[in-house]
């Protein structure tokens, strides 16, 4: 048999992302999930920028990099 596990998107997530876009903000997803999983969830939420396959300590470094580039 096959067992499938999927992350479920919260019902309000897409509306929140849309509201952030309307404010002129870029929304990014940073996750330890695989790129394929992350992109599937991001697509459902309306998020275009996905940074996947990273560990928690890498997330902090990525946020600093985005801050230095004026993205946050």
Distance of CA 37 to the CA centre of its chain: 10
Q: What is the Cα–Cα distance from 16 to 47, expressed in whole angstroms?
A: 11
Q: Is the pLDDT of residue 69 over 80?
A: no
Tokens of 3: 């067992």
Residue ranges per structural domain of the chain: 13-68
pLDDT value at residue 15:
96
3-class SS at 49? Answer: strand
- pLDDT for 11-51, tens place per residue? 899 999 999 999 998 899 999 999 999 999 999 999 999 99
pLDDT band at 70 (very low <50, low <70, confident <90, very high): confident
Question: CA–CA distance from 11 to each of 16, 45, 64 (Å)?
Answer: 10, 9, 30
pTM equals 0.77
**CATH number, span 13-68:** 3.40.50.1000
pLDDT value at residue 3:
61
């Amino acid at each position: 048999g096959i067992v499938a596990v999927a992350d479920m998107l919260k019902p309000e997530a897409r509306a929140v992302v849309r509201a952030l876009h309307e404010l002129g903000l870029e929304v990014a997803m940073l996750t330890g999930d695989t790129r394929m999983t992350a992109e599937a969830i991001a697509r459902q939420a309306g998020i275009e920028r996905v940074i996947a396959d990273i560990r928690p300590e890498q997330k902090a470094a990525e946020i600093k990099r985005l801050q230095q580039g004026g993205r946050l």
